[in-house]
């Protein structure tokens, strides 16, 4: 991972500069094949929330209070109980405790402003309203300042168990609860500081993969049992059993040098996963990686 001219991401060669100078997306763009394409009411709502969250993000206003519609509440009430059942069986204890402490329920879509205040009291992290998925380095610039960008829109109702982009169900039921854990918060913040400090695209890519195979798609050992803690797994009813039980998944111990050399395809179920022995282990591994890459953390 030293020659930035040969960076590969998602199986394709990429320009290393794109890792350090991310684009700014100023208008709502739904990818081709998005289930909300062609639904004028959905598109209108998404545009409204895009503008509101972008304004609150750029003007540092904190998460806006949102009046969720009946349809949005219906989708939450359809998806969150199914996820909750799976969480109780398979999620890490760190996650389950935090979800209880945050009082996230199956019935009511939480207001990010309330979650942010609660997380802030616990670990001094806070939530930043995001109009959509932010470019990787922009995302980690917020995290370096202990802010976690979170979306405030919900997937399209025609496919309640599927979203081609991170939405509020992914963020609130995947990413937010572990922010209540101090080791997790420090792990995340260091990824953010390192990723937003380095001028080298290959370093950013290494940190992105470290994050992908821990924060996003990590498995963790607890009392000799493999449990789920990555947000991408925790927010998908298909991915939770697939990650733990499918014969199509290769599960290996978390070895940082292997992790940072492993490419992935975010558009499919993840068939290569790493199992970390603990959050403290991940934190120590990350500190060592940042030292080894020679990144001077600027913040
Ligand atoms: Fe995510």
- Render pLDDT for 164-202 as a digit per residue (tens, 0 to 9): 888 999 999 999 999 999 999 999 999 999 999 999 999
Tell me the CA–centroid distance for residue 224 and ligand 1, in Å. 26
What residue segments make up the domains of the chain, in order of their start? 59-293
Ligand 1 midpoint to CA 217 (Å)? 9
- 229 band by pLDDT with thresholds 50, 70 and 90: very high
pLDDT value, residue 131: 94
Structure tokens at 161: 């168990």
Whether pLDDT at 92 is above 60: yes
Task: Indicate if the pLDDT at residue 36 is higher than 80.
Answer: yes
pLDDT of 25 reads 81
What superfamily does domain 59-293 belong to in CATH?
Aromatic amino acid hydroxylase (1.10.800.10)
Q: In this structure, are residues 99 and 177 in contact, taking their beta carbons and an 8 Å threshold?
A: yes
Q: Which pair of structure tokens corresponds to residue 40?
A: 């004028």
Distance 189 CA to ligand 1 centre (A): 15
7-21, 132-146, 168-182: range with lowest mean pLDDT: 7-21
CA of 231 to the centre of ligand 1 (A): 6
* Å from CA of 208 to ligand 1 middle: 12
Residues less than 5 Å from ion ligand 1, measured at CB: 166, 231
Exposure string (b/e) for 217-236, b if CB count within 10 Å is 16 or more?
bbbbbeeeeebbbbbbbbbb
CA of 118 to the centre of ligand 1 (A): 20
Instruction: For residue 149, report the distance from its CA to the centre of ligand 1, in Å.
Output: 10
pLDDT tens by residue, 108-117: 999 999 999 9
* Residue 11: how many other CB atoms lie within 10 Å: 8
**Average pLDDT for 255-283:** 94
Instruction: Specify the pLDDT at position 1.
Output: 46
Give kind and range of the element (H or E) at residue 266.
none
Lowest-confidence pick of 5-14, 25-34, 125-134, 243-252: 5-14
């Amino acid at each position: 991972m030293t020659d930035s001219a040969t960076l590969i991401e998602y199986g394709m060669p990429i320009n290393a500069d794109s890792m350090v100078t991310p684009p700014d997306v100023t208008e709502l763009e739904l990818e081709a094949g998005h289930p909300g394409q062609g639904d004028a009411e959905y598109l209108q709502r998404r545009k409204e929330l895009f503008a509101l969250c972008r304004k609150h993000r750029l003007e540092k206003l904190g998460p806006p209070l949102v009046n969720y519609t009946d349809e949005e509440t219906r989708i939450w009430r359809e998806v969150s109980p199914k996820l909750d059942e799976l969480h109780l069986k398979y999620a890490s204890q760190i996650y389950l405790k935090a979800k209880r402490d945050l009082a996230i329920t199956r019935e009511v879509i939480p207001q990010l402003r309330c979650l942010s205040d609660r997380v802030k009291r616990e670990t001094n992290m806070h939530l930043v309203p995001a109009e959509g998925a932010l470019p990787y380095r922009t995302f980690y610039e917020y995290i370096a300042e202990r802010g976690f960008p979170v979306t405030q829109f919900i997937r399209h109702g025609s496919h309640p168990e599927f979203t081609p982009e991170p939405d509020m169900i992914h963020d609130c039921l995947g990413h937010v609860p572990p922010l209540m854990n101090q080791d997790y918060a420090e792990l995340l913040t260091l990824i953010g500081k390192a990723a937003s400090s380095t001028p080298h695209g290959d370093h950013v890519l290494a940190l992105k993969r470290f994050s992908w195979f821990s924060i996003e798609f990590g498995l963790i050992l607890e009392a000799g049992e493999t449990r789920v803690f990555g947000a991408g797994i925790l927010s998908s009813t298909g991915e939770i059993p697939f990650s733990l039980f499918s014969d199509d998944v290769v599960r290996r111990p978390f070895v940082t040098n292997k992790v940072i050399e492993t490419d992935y395809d975010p558009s499919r179920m993840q068939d290569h996963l790493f199992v970390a022995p603990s959050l403290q282990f991940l934190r120590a591994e990350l500190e060592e990686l940042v030292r080894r890459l020679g990144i001077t953390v600027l913040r």
